[in-house]
């Protein structure tokens, strides 16, 4: 709910910076909405800046739209925000040496489980014949 309010506050001309906070171009608006969902509101519990109502999210939404209006690509917008706030702002954790384990753990467990299952089934089959 607060998201709406913050969002609307940004639309009030007196408060708005030179960049409009809804693009009239639907493709640009869709890009902005999509990008907004990829960044986390750092002062809320697990909300992205698209749905959150905090002033922080309003700021980030504004930054995103400024960048898009300036012709930056999605990945340039992302780099800009990461440089500013750190990796913690990314909803999707980055792939880097200290997160390899995070990304691979589920599949390592799956692989190890599959290997164990293979051995167990082979042994059981040997017993049953």
Residue numbers at the binding site for another protein (CB under 8 A): 1-5, 7-8, 11-12, 38, 40, 45-48, 51, 86-94, 98-99, 101-103, 105-107, 109-110, 113-114, 116-117, 120-125, 127-128
> Hey, which residues does 17 pair with through a beta bridge?
none
Dihedral in degrees, nearest 10, Cα atoms 65, 84, 40, 7: -30
CA–CA dist 89, 56 (Å, integer): 12
CB of 20 vs another protein, minimal distance in Å: 15
- For 48-81, give the DSSP string: BTTT--SHHHHHHHHHHHHHHHTT--HHHHHHHH
**4/70 with CB nearer another protein:** 4
Q: How far is the CB of 29 from another protein (least distance, A)?
A: 12
Nearer to another protein, 3 or 64 (CB): 3
**Tokens, residue 3:** 């998201």
Shortest Å, Cβ 48 to another protein: 7
- Between 41 and 63, whose beta carbon lies closer to another protein? 41
């Amino acid at each position: 709910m607060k998201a709406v309010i913050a969002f609307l506050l940004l639309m009030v001309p007196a408060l708005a910076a030179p960049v409009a906070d809804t693009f009239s171009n639907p493709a640009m608006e869709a890009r902005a909405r999509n990008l907004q969902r990829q960044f986390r509101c750092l002062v809320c519990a697990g909300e992205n800046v698209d749905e959150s109502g905090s002033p922080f999210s309003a700021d980030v939404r504004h930054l995103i739209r400024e960048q898009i209006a300036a012709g930056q690509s999605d990945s340039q917008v992302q780099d800009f925000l990461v440089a500013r706030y750190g990796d913690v702002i990314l909803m999707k954790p980055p792939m880097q040496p200290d997160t390899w384990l995070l990304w691979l753990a589920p599949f390592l467990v799956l692989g190890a489980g599959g290997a164990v299952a293979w051995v167990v089934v082979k042994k059981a089959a040997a017993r049953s014949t």
